Amino acid sequence: MNWKQIAVPIAALVIFGIFWELLVWVNGWPNYKMASPSDLWPSFWKFRWLFLEYGWDTLWRTVAGLVLAVVLGVFLGMIMGLSRIMRDALYPLLVGFNAIPKATVVPIIALLFVGQHDMNTILIAFLISFFPIAVSVSIGLSTLEPEYRDILASLGASRFTIFWKIALPKTLPEFFGALKVAVTLAFIGTNLMEIVEPHGRGLGHLFDSGKISADYPLMFAVLIALALMGILLYYVVVAIEKVFAGWAERAPT
């Protein structure tokens, strides 16, 4: 990684902030219509301890939901990728479930497990983010060219050996692609729960407080904090991908 790879994204963020500031300034919008970046600093500073505390709540719940989504998503993807019957059986169910707006699932979960706020939040983060992982793993496994299987199968290798030495590593690039999508979805899930069913914790709750007290810059500040956490987690995934699937990235020619 050279300095350009760091400087370019940061420059893009700065330019975006400048445009945002200009947009608000040119239109003469008051901050209850649209807060500008310069309005956000006072909010961040005023609620800095709450941002840290609630930010941590949101972050660990999101990561827990993601871990759950990876474990169960990979498991489902394996079942669907290795068995034609399971694929035919599970795909309509999964697609149907994924089409249900998760905002409507929030009250159901909240009623099912009354008071289990951490678990409820993690559950929604998981429900909203496992789908792309399951689909990509299943596609990766089911599209494995037969010759790849044959080079080991012809030596009498077991199905598990073929999976471990060939199918699994070959699916890793697709898996990480899906994980990058899942990261942002998991944040949406966590905040959905925190905003729709506020229980006094998490950035979603802070957003809700801003709404109740008509503190618009606070609401925008929460959104920006969420965006930053999303970027942070995304790059964590990119770093893990570099370790486990760095081979998939071709050298520039």
Residue in 86, 153, 223, 231 binding another protein, rule: CB under 8 A:
153
**Nearer CB in complex with another protein: 172/223:** 172
**Nearer CB in complex with another protein: 96/156:** 156
The two three-digit tokens of residue 195, written as one number: 């905003």
Residue in 20, 36, 91, 170 binding another protein, rule: CB under 8 A:
170
Spatial contact of 192 and 106, defined as CB atoms under 8 Å apart = yes
**Nearer CB in complex with another protein: 68/179:** 179
Residues 88-147 that bind another protein (CB under 8 A): 145, 147
* Span of 98-106, 155-163, 202-210, 213-221 interacting with another protein by CB under 8 A: 155-163
Q: Does 151 bind another protein (CB under 8 A)?
A: yes
Q: Does 240 bind another protein (CB under 8 A)?
A: no
* Span of 90-98, 177-185, 187-195, 245-253 interacting with another protein by CB under 8 A: 245-253
The region that residue 137 occupies, defined by phi over 0 for left and psi between -120 and 50 for alpha, beta otherwise, is alpha
Number of residues that bind another protein (CB under 8 A): 22
The two three-digit tokens of residue 23, written as one number: 């947009």
Cα atoms in the 13 Å half-sphere on the side-chain side of 67: 7
The two three-digit tokens of residue 252, written as one number: 């520039």
Distance between CA 115 and CA 113 in Å, rounded? 6
Distance between CA 42 and CA 48 in Å, rounded? 10
Residue in 119, 157, 224, 237 binding another protein, rule: CB under 8 A:
157
**Nearer CB in complex with another protein: 67/168:** 168
**Nearer CB in complex with another protein: 27/161:** 161
CA angle 153, 245, 122 (to 5 degrees): 105
Q: Answer positive or negative: Cα dihedral of 143, 135, 182, 11.
A: positive
The two three-digit tokens of residue 56, written as one number: 């941590």
Residue ranges that bind another protein, judged by CB under 8 A: 145, 147-148, 150-157, 161, 165-166, 169-170, 172, 245, 247-248, 250-251
